[in-house]
Amino acid sequence: MKKILMVCLGNICRSPLAEGILKSKVDTSKIEVSSAGTGGWHVGELPDPRSIEVAQQHGLDITNQRGKQFSTYDFEIYDHIFVMDNSNYRDVVKLATSASEKEKVQLILEETHPGKKLDVPDPYYGGDQGFENVYTMLEEACEKIAARL
């Protein structure tokens, strides 16, 4: 079973969307997809209502998800760790204890814009349009990931 982890800061806006989108594109009996935040403020919480809404508008239900915090143990569990921005990348890689663990970590937008090191912008403090924008970016990136898995 291949295991994929999506990571952002709070695990309520971006990575829950990435988890839901990738799950909709793969055979979940063969590929496990989960998400986590580098911060622990929202552990146990539902995704942000704006993420739930934008997912719903695209036919996805992400209300089964609950916030989790990334831990070093996740390097052992997951084969690929997709981070949403450069700050997440630094925070996750800091916790890696070997080169092979570090190699599991990739900025998700490298899928669509290789070499550009682009961030999925954090929509938390913005309006609804930010969530639609994030959805579009993640949809394109997850399409590439799913095609390769």
Pairing of strands 31-37, 80-83: unpaired
Annotated catalytic residue, options 13, 14, 74, 142: 14
d(CA 46, CA 66): 5
DSSP letter (8 states) at residue 107 = E
Q: Which of residues 71-90 bind ligand 4NP (CB under 6 A)?
A: none
Annotated catalytic residue, options 85, 119, 122, 142: 122
Phi and psi for 82 in degrees, rounded to 5? -100, 120
Please tell me the count of residues contacting ligand 4NP according to CB under 6 A: 11
b/e map of 54-80 (b: 16 or more CB within 10 Å)?
bbeeeebebeebebbbbeeebbeebeb
CB of 52 to ligand 4NP, least distance (A): 12
Of the candidates 136, 13, 14, the residue with the CA atom closest to the CA atom of residue 82: 14
Determine if 53 is a binding residue for ligand 4NP (CB under 6 A): no
Annotation marks residue 8 as catalytic? yes
CB of 120 to ligand 4NP, least distance (A): 8
d(CA 11, CA 33): 14
Interface characters, 8-27, with ligand 4NP (x: CB under 6 A): xxxxxxx-------------
CB of 8 to ligand 4NP, least distance (A): 3
Determine if 41 is a binding residue for ligand 4NP (CB under 6 A): yes
Q: Which of residues 95-134 bind ligand 4NP (CB under 6 A)?
A: 122, 124
Catalytic residues, by residue number, are 8, 14, 122
| Residues in contact with ligand 4NP by the rule CB under 6 A | 8-14, 37, 41, 122, 124
